[in-house]
Structure 1
Amino acid sequence: MGRRPVSSRDGVREIWSAGGVVYRRAGDSGLEVMLVARPRERLWALPKGKPEPGESIEQTALREVSEETGLQVAIDGSEPVGSIRYTYEVPGRPGRVYKVVHHYLMQPTGGDLERHDGEYDLVEWYDAHEACKRMTYPNERAIVERAIEALNGEEAAR
């Protein structure tokens, strides 16, 4: 995947964004996952966003997650835990948009949830399985399920 955020071909505009599955190990409950939410819109999701000029996918993921959650985070691993691909149309604009959203496993290294940028009403930790139940988008839920599986396998190997 190239590092350019936008390209066009055959009337299809291609864009990408990036974010993360922020997790922590938490006592008896095991694994917790960070979700961002707008409850009045019934939206629970993973933090993510669009690149700024010149940013790599990884830089975008780190910045967006930090802005939306208030946490400093580190990417855990070198490859995304999953990517979502979809096509949509923008009313009043010709052509379609093909979007790829890359999600990395991330761990918090500092920060404060109270310092999130306000794009979402809530930024909260959930038991990983509860997070999956709350999530609005099935494709993001599948990424969290993949992350849980990978992290539980890693724990079992210890």
Structure 2
Amino acid sequence: MIRAAGCVLWRPAPTGRGIEIALVHRPKYDDWSHPKGKLKRGESAEEAALREVREETGHACALGPRLPTARYLANGRPKVVTYWSARALDGAFVPSTEVDRMVWLPPEAARLRLTQPRDRELLDAALD
């Protein structure tokens, strides 16, 4: 089984009204998703979520409430992804080969941009 962790990363909107959600684009899959990645040996899900957010978005974050766990097949193997809602702290995005773009969007625009239905469900859970 593949174990991974990630976050629905958010920040207060610069306008002072509402929040924005961070989405990352992975050129390998040409998809838009929440930042996430595989756990390293001996790493907790919390540690992996914080590390992956930092690696993929350039931002530190503060974990908030735990969100529903995603379970699906990835290349024929079962994958379990533990998620949290997380507030973005300091940082700045730097493109890489793994994640070439990142956007901050209002929740409804983020919902429309997400590639996978399971990521839209996760966003809905974070907004509840």
Q: Tell me the TM-score normalized by structure 2.
A: 0.88
Matched, 1:19 2:6: yes
Paired with 1:40 and 1:85, the residues of 2 have a C-alpha distance of: 21
Give unmatched runs, 5+ long, in structure 2: none
Paired with 2:102 and 2:3, the residues of 1 have a C-alpha distance of: 23
Give unmatched runs, 5+ long, in structure 1: 1-13, 91-96, 150-158
Give the strand-richer structure, 1 or 2: 2
Q: Which runs of 4+ in 1 moved over 6 A?
A: none
The aligned residue for residue 86 of structure 2 is: 106
Higher relative contact order (CA 8 A, sep 6+): 2
Deviation at residue 28 of structure 1 after TM alignment:
5.2
* RMSD (Å), alpha carbons: 2.0
SS in 1 for 2:112: helix
Q: Tell me the TM-score normalized by structure 1.
A: 0.73
Paired with 2:4 and 2:103, the residues of 1 have a C-alpha distance of: 22
Mark the structure with the bigger radius of gyration.
1
Give the helix-richer structure, 1 or 2: 1
2:31 to 18, 40, 43: 43
Once the two structures are superposed, residues 28-69 of structure 1 have per-residue CA deviations (whole angstroms, 9 ceiling, x without a partner) of 551210000147964111110011111000000000111000
Matched, 1:73 2:48: no
Once the two structures are superposed, residues 90-118 of structure 1 have per-residue CA deviations (whole angstroms, 9 ceiling, x without a partner) of 5xxxxxx21111111111121112x3544
Paired with 1:32 and 1:89, the residues of 2 have a C-alpha distance of: 31
Do 1:70 and 1:116's aligned partners in 2 also have CA atoms closer than 8 Å? no
SS in 2 for 1:67: helix
> Which has the larger displacement, 51-60 or 34-43?
34-43
